[in-house]
Structures are given as structure tokens and as C-alpha cells.
């Protein structure tokens, strides 16, 4: 496969975001979003997905974290869509179960070309640090709409909200890693009977 890298910028009156992604990286993250817990979660995605991420985000955090978190999901999705190319030779599907102490989450992804988010998570707290847990849905909704993937997220167990979130993002990274990996038996072929995704 040729290099699967992309850089995307998004500039609005609310946020200025630049995301670079290397799908065949070493799990490195360079990240400045102004939202510390989000940075911690993105580190999980990079490390467990073996994806290099370089993220710079400036947003209207004096209002709240909403626009920054949502727009980062959008921009990350755009970068994945560009980096993945025509999807020939990839596994396409990925899944992972990840535990952290009492918490357990499952994430399943399909690079189908059709956006859809199915998220079944009941966080036990409204905030983690200063981050509103409702914004995780906004992040993933932005991602799926612009990466054009079907994404199922289920938190199966957990009473510590930090653990719940961390298992979700680690599983997300692991599922991405599986889905975008090169399938030697599918080399050069489209992983769809339709002939395109």
C-alpha cells in the first residue's frame, strides 16, 4: 500500500483545528486541544490503534468544550476518510473488547461508506474532570459522519466514569487498527461485493 497519511484543517468562527494522521504509524500523539481529558483519550486511540496523530485545536473554551470536541471529531473523521483512500485491500471491519478494572466496553466499526453511530453508554457521572460526558457522543457523531463509517459503541460494565470512557477509547483505537490493516488475502481487491465503498 502507498502511504496512508492525510492532513486536514477546519477553520470556523468557533474553532481552528488541524489534524494530521498516519494510519500506519507507531502510536504517537502530539496533541493540544485545551481539553485535558480529551487529550488523554486521544492518546489511547493513537497508542492502541498504532496510528500517529498530530492535533492542534483552538476553540471557544470560554463558552464550553462543545464546539472544540465536536469539531475535532469532524476533522479527525475527514482525515481518516482522506487517508484510507479507496479501501482496497483493507480488512474493513474491526472490533475490540477492552476492560479496565470493573469497566468493559465493546466497539465495532465498519468502513462501509455509510455513516451511522449506535452508542449505548450510560455514564455514571455527568463530567470527567471538566469534560461533559455528553460530548463523547458529539465527538463520535462528528467522526462517523465524516469518516463515513458505521460505529457501534457499547459500555457493558462499569461504575467509574473515567474507566468507562477509557475502555471506549482504547477499544475504538483497537477496532480502528484492525479495520484499516492490510489484509494479505484481499490484496488489491475491494472488500465489498458492490465493487466500491
Return the number of other C-beta atoms located less than 10 Å from residue 96's C-beta: 21
In a domain, 161, yes or no: yes
CA angle 90, 94, 98 (to 5 degrees): 145
pLDDT given at position 1: 58
Alpha-carbon distance 95 to 111, whole Å? 12
Residue 107: per-residue pLDDT: 99
In a domain, 196, yes or no: no
C-alpha cell belonging to residue 162: 473515567
Q: Is residue 185 part of a domain?
A: no
Does any domain span residue 166? Answer: yes
Does residue 166 contact residue 41 with C-beta atoms inside 8 Å? yes
List the CATH number of the domain containing 166: 3.30.230.40
* Chain position carrying cell 467522526: 143
Q: Which residue has the cell 471557544?
A: 60
In a domain, 55, yes or no: yes
188 domain residue, yes or no: no
Q: How many domains does the chain have?
A: 1
When computed from its CA atoms, the radius of gyration of the chain, rounded to whole angstroms, is: 16
The answer to whether residue 195 is domain-embedded is no
Determine the 3-state secondary structure of 56 from DSSP.
strand
- From first to last of its 197 residues, the chain has per-residue pLDDT tens of 579 999 999 999 999 999 999 999 999 999 999 999 999 999 999 999 999 999 999 999 999 999 999 999 999 999 999 999 999 999 999 999 999 999 999 999 999 999 999 999 999 999 999 999 999 999 999 999 999 999 999 999 999 999 999 999 999 999 999 999 999 999 889 999 999 99
Residue ranges making up the domain that contains 31: 5-180
Residue 186 within any structural domain of the chain? no
Amino acid at each position: 500500500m502507498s502511504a496512508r497519511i492525510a492532513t486536514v484543517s477546519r477553520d470556523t468562527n468557533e474553532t481552528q483545528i488541524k489534524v494530521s494522521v498516519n494510519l500506519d504509524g507507531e502510536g504517537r500523539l502530539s496533541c493540544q486541544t485545551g481539553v485535558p481529558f480529551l487529550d488523554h483519550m486521544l492518546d489511547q486511540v493513537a497508542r492502541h490503534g498504532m496510528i500517529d496523530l498530530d492535533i492542534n485545536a483552538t476553540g471557544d473554551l470560554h463558552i464550553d468544550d462543545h464546539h472544540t470536541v465536536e469539531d475535532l471529531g469532524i476533522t479527525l473523521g475527514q482525515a481518516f476518510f482522506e487517508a484510507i483512500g479507496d479501501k482496497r485491500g483493507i480488512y474493513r471491519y474491526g472490533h475490540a473488547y477492552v476492560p479496565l478494572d470493573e469497566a468493559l466496553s465493546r466497539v465495532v466499526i465498519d468502513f462501509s461508506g455509510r455513516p451511522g453511530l449506535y452508542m449505548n453508554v450510560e455514564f455514571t457521572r455527568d463530567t470527567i474532570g471538566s469534560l461533559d460526558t455528553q460530548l463523547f457522543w458529539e465527538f463520535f457523531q462528528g467522526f462517523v459522519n465524516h469518516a463515513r463509517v458505521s460505529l457501534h459503541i457499547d459500555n457493558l460494565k462499569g461504575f467509574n466514569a473515567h474507566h468507562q470512557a477509557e475502555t471506549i477509547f482504547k477499544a475504538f483505537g483497537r477496532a480502528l487498527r484492525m479495520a484499516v490493516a492490510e489484509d494479505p488475502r484481499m490484496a488489491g481487491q475491494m472488500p465489498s461485493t458492490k465493487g466500491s465503498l
